Amino acid sequence: MKPLERFKNLILIDKQDIYQIFLYSIIAGLISLSLPLGIQSIINFIQAGKVSTSWIVLVFIVVIGVAFVGILKIMQFRITENLQQKIFVRSSFEFAYRFPKIKFNQLYDQYPPELANRFFDTLTVQKGVSKLLLDSSGAALQIIFGITLLSLYHSFFIFFGILLLVLLYLIFRINFNTGLQTSLKESKYKYKIAHWLQEIARNHLSFKSNTTFSYSLHKNDRLVAEYLKQRESHFHVLLKQFIQLTGFKILLTAGLLIIGGLLVINQKMNIGQFVAAEIIILSIITAVEKLFSGLELFYDVLTSLEKLGAVVDLELEEDAENTTYNIDKDSLTIELQNVTFKYPDAEKETLNKVSLTIQPKQHTLIDGENGSGKTTLIRLLARILEPTTGSIFINNTNYKKFSGSKYRSKIGVVTTQEMPFEGTILENITCNNPAIKMETVFELIDKLKLTEIIKALPKGLETQISSEGKQINASTVQKIVLARCIINQPNLLFLENPLDKIDEQNSKEILDFLCDEKQPWTLVVVSKNNYWKQICKQTIVLNQGTIKTN
């Protein structure tokens, strides 16, 4: 989607509010441009050399007109504030909704937290759209109305006005594409710098040594140098526009003053009309300046919409929400038939024609050497990945016929990337689900050997932890993530190295709890912990993407 199309779609969402803004702008513009006519009449009365009732009435009308224009501006300000709030809310929910549903292959070569930084462009869109609607649209109307009003004084102003409008359009047309492209390139390196600073912050301990510290600064220097280069290119476009604008103002001022002066000399305009025309000329010049200052902002808004599109345009997972197929049974059988999977940039398949069956309540260990496809297989089963070829069946029905959200409501998943989020320990475990009772939480944390750890904290379960649980040890992090995974009693449990950072004794007790026959789940695990081999009924060994047979 092109940037202008994104801007059009943004405007169309709130078109009723924008129609109101334009209506108020038109009314305010008409009133503002009628003021010079009133001033012209007042000057004519003053030339008569006496105070009259008509003079007082005209002064009163002009003052009321100024006040009414101010009221309309206040109303516009209120509407644009509502628009800003709507844009922010929609953007935040758009990101919050999309990130969990974006297809894996769309994020394969991208860093999701860096993509999330695009949200800050919402602020530019907020302020930019508001200013464009208030200032730029008002300025455009003021130019049109001003030229129309001047044409009432003499027909020659009509041709002059058309010439000015053509010149304005040409200035815009000549610079627009170049200005937009340079703005996009500038923004690209702005985000590269932000991402590199994010990487330095994320690996701040690694960059403490002199060698790595120098590398971080040199790379930042290269990125900043490229940013400045692109920024300078964009500035040249803006400078070119400013020079053209200055020439336009000179032409406008000189042309209208000469024309107005000749008309007064030839007695085709009186002095009052000339003064009124000069006021109109000044208002047109001011409007032109506003219009061109808004052009830089227009580039910024279009660029920000394009950056937001980096997230919004990513393909979402297909979900058969309207399907008649429901996962009603608590016991689920999963079957893979000739499943092949290949990563987007890989030369060969990670999994090749894998077929297997996992029975209800069965405990299955996926084993194999590093790079054999263990993680890929478990993520296919968890529906995080989609097979390149082959079929996956749930209770003898192709899994694509089931709603993805309904399937995930039946499963629990712990991947190696799972970490606590910023919030309390209780929030990290329950996600504030009101259906979960505190008795269930206490029982679970006891089974996962978290009770003593939490009791040692001054605020217990209400202890606030940071992103990724930086202030707690790695084994506690794994237990919290595991607790979040199983608190809702899933029917299917998929675990990637869930307890590899926990000591052997605690690990065995937790594994016995997970594999207890009373548990409601079918369990599939990838782990190097040998104890899994003792307690799992089925072991699937992978070798270079295929199931190894004995």
Residue 6 and residue 4: Cα distance in Å, rounded? 5
Confidence of residue 325 (pLDDT cuts 50, 70, 90): low
Encoding tokens for residue 514? Answer: 């997970």
* Least confident interval from 88-102, 310-324, 381-395, 468-482: 310-324
Q: What is the mean predicted confidence (pLDDT) over 11-33? A: 80
Residue 46 — very low, low, confident or very high, per pLDDT cuts 50/70/90? Answer: low
Give the tens place of pLDDT for each residue, 143-191. Answer: 777 777 777 767 777 777 777 778 878 888 888 889 889 999 999 999 8
Q: Which tokens hold the place of 349? A: 């398949």
Token reading at 501: 């950072």
| Fold observed for domain 334-547 | Rossmann fold (3.40.50)
Measure Cα distances from 396 to 186, 237, 355, 357 in Å: 53, 63, 14, 11
Return the pLDDT at 222: 94
Is the per-residue pLDDT at 320 higher than 60?
no
Measured CA to CA, the distance from residue 169 to residue 150 in angstroms comes to: 20
Q: Is 352 helix (H, G, I), strand (E, B) or coil?
A: strand
Beta-carbon contacts of residue 384 (< 8 Å; ≥ 6 apart): 104, 413, 415
pLDDT at 148: 75
Per-residue pLDDT averaged across 435-458, rounded? 91
Q: What is the pLDDT of residues 231-249, one digit of tens each?
A: 999 999 988 888 888 887 7
| For residues 526-541, average pLDDT | 89
Q: What average pLDDT does the segment 80-99 reach?
A: 90
Whether the per-residue pLDDT at 275 is higher than 80: the answer is no
- Examine the pLDDT at 138 and tell me if it is beyond 90: no
**Start and end residues for every CATH 3.40.50.300 domain found in the chain:** 334-547
CATH number for the domain running over 3-312: 1.20.1560.10
Q: Indicate yes or no: pTM above 0.85.
A: no
- Across residues 327-351, what is the average pLDDT? 83
- Output the six-digit token pair for 294: 């808004």
